[in-house]
Amino acid sequence: MDNVEHSDVAENNKVPETLDVVNPYDQTYIESIATVIWGDIDKYLSTAHQLYKDCNQWIPAFERVSILKKAAVLISQRADELAFLIANEGGKPLADARVEVTRAIDGVELCAKEISKLIGSQIPMDLTQAGAGRIAFTTKEPIGVVVAVSAFNHPLNLIVHQVAPAVAAGCPVLVKPARDTPLSCKAFVDILHEAGLPPQWCRFVACDISTSEKMITDPRVAFFSFIGSANIGWMLRSKLAPGTRCALEHGGVAPVIIDESADIDAMIPSLLKGGFYHSGQVCVSVQRIYAPKDKAKNIAQLLAEGAAKLIVGNAIDEKTECGPLIRPKEVDRVEEWVDEAVAAGAILMTGGKRLGESTYAPTVLFEPPANAKVSTMEIFGPVVCVYGYDDIDEAIEQANSLDYAFQAAVFTKNLDIATKAIRELDATAVMVNDHTAFRVDWMPFAGRKHSGYNTGGIAYTMHDMSQDKMAVIKL
């Protein structure tokens, strides 16, 4: 045997490890699950690939509709249980976890509805003499085996956005959740099976990093869906097998521009929600706010007053508004970045300290240096930065200065300023008089540049997981 064969034998003979899931606030044990070794994943891929290759085994559209509708009902019946699970394993406050469950229900129902829109079109053939005497049309087919790798911050709804479209498009799918939050993912996969989806069409795959990379880069994979950090996403894309398509959703350093005409009193609650929702652990969380110089300090102070009132604690406590960061080492990192910015001249308006091993105080910084980490990198924590500007063109230039571009926002009562921001901000979506973290699940959702590749959103993902086939009939 050569080295590769020896390696495969070792992988196949591995004993599954046990993954302990804990509450990120106090590390309280929740549950243990067994990880999946390569030998099992190899079998899953083979089965999934064979299901795809034999079109006679494809699940008819009406059955997919029925399965998804039943799944939505089952999620509704278990809404409280799932919301508690999201809060307990992921640290998202219960109030927000309940919203996530509602979104998951809506997302599954939307997938069922969108199946009716997986349609082809007639192609005119007699536009030239060469095509005359023929009729042609296209149909939609599933792209093949989908592998989805997800993040921790929306442990149910992200899985819905990756897995339910695959089911709707008729693709077999293997899904690897974040190691911190596998239980919500497993619950959804189990619900799909209970709703009538044969288990071989959707597999829950909790595994280690090396095994997941082997699965992702396997030539049997037709589509790779990834939600996570830019470094890992781009690395994995570079290793995909020839022909494998992908969608990557990374993070951003979301900018907000405040115009002179903005309604400040109405704006502050929106910015607080956009900046401190899930303790800033959102890929489009408000991070950089640019305000006119004569108003910037006051805006920072108003934000600081609101942030200081937020209740930080265990996400399963009904009173909690800001939960823990997902791991203690993330608190270490946020603390380091904030301390660095303050040492370099940023004014600390509120926060700037850890409250425990797993929590960090909601923090507002005024005028951190433009080259500080908090100004140039996604902090993924409860930190918002405010900067003053003299000219709105300068603010737009600063907003566009990074390699990350996702969602952006502008607050203004001036239509000219609104249209200028929409036109000139480098973003896939520009919110007017709303925070950058706004999203509904049927809208396109995507990052530019380092922030991602391809477009998310239910219908857009189903399109990516489908392919056209044309029939040309000579009369």
Q: What are 52-100's pLDDT values in tens digits?
A: 999 999 999 999 999 999 999 999 999 999 999 999 999 999 999 999 9
From the list 284, 307, 300, the residue with the least C-alpha distance to 353 is: 307
Tell me what pLDDT residue 321 has.
98
Q: Give catalytic residues, as residue numbers.
A: 249, 283
Task: Give the mean pLDDT of 93-111.
Answer: 98
**Whether residue 85 is found in the same domain as residue 144:** yes
* Residue at 6 is within a domain: no
Mean pLDDT over 425-446 rounds to 96
191 shares a domain with 54: yes
Q: Whole-prediction pTM value?
A: 0.93
DSSP string, 185-227: HHHHHHHHHHTT--GGGEEE----HHHHHHHHT-TTEEEEEEE
Half-sphere exposure for 341 (CA within 13 Å, toward CB): 32
Give the count of domains, the chain: 2
Strand-pair category, 466-474 with 134-142? antiparallel
The 3-state DSSP composition of the chain as helix, strand, coil percent (nearest 5) reads 45, 20, 35
Question: Are 211 and 328 members of one domain?
Answer: no
152 and 290 assigned to the same domain: no
State the CATH number of the domain containing residue 127: 3.40.605.10
Kindly state whether residues 284 and 433 are assigned to the same domain: yes
Percent of the chain with pLDDT over 90: 96
- pLDDT tens digits, residue range 375-410? 999 999 999 999 999 999 999 999 999 999 999 999
Number of Cβ within 10 Å of residue 55's Cβ equals 10
Would 187 be classed as within a structural domain? Answer: yes
Residue 222 has pLDDT above 70, yes or no: yes
Q: How far is CA 164 from CA 5, 191, 465, 470, in A?
A: 36, 11, 11, 26
CATH of the domain at 267: 3.40.309.10
Domain range enclosing 163 = 11-250+451-474
Examine the domain organization and report whether 246 and 262 are in the same domain: no
Q: Which pLDDT score is estimated for 16? A: 76
Task: Report if residue 51 sits inside a domain.
Answer: yes
Question: Is the CB of residue 86 less than 8 Å from the CB of residue 153?
Answer: no
pLDDT at 273: 97
The answer to whether residue 446 sits within a structural domain is no
151 neighbors 158 (Cβ within 8 angstroms) = yes
Q: HSE on the CB side for 291, CA within 13 Å?
A: 22
**pLDDT, position 1:** 33
2 is a domain residue? no
Whether residues 225 and 342 share a domain: the answer is no
pLDDT at position 2 is: 38
Can you say how many angstroms the Cα of residue 28 is from the centroid of all Cα atoms in its chain?
26
In this structure, are 188 and 292 located in the same domain? no
> Stretch 294-316: mean pLDDT, rounded?
98
Is there a single domain that holds both residue 341 and residue 462?
no
**What residues are paired with 290 via a beta bridge?**
257, 387
Same-domain pairing of 397 and 325: yes
Q: How confident is the model at residue 9 (pLDDT cuts 50, 70, 90)?
A: very low
Provide the pLDDT for residue 134. Answer: 97
Does residue 399 belong to any structural domain of this protein?
Answer: yes
Q: Is residue 1 part of a domain?
A: no
Q: If you average pLDDT over residues 303-331, what whole number do you get? A: 98
Contacts made by residues 272-276, CB under 8 angstroms, sequence distance 24+: 272/303, 272/306, 272/307, 272/310, 273/435, 273/437, 274/409, 274/435, 274/436, 274/437, 274/438, 275/303, 275/307, 275/382, 275/384, 275/435, 276/307, 276/310, 276/321, 276/322, 276/362, 276/382, 276/384
Q: Are residues 229 and 287 in the same domain?
A: no
Tell me the mean pLDDT in the region 23-27: 97
Shortest CA distance to 167 belongs to which of 192, 130, 131, 137? 192
Mean pLDDT on 180-190: 98
Residue 4 maps to a domain:
no
* Triad 170, 250, 76: Cα angle to 5°: 50
Q: How does residue 6 score in pLDDT terms, banded at 50, 70 and 90?
A: very low
Residues 352 and 235 in one domain: no
The answer, yes or no, to whether residue 14 has pLDDT greater than 90, is no
What pLDDT sits at residue 11?
A: 52
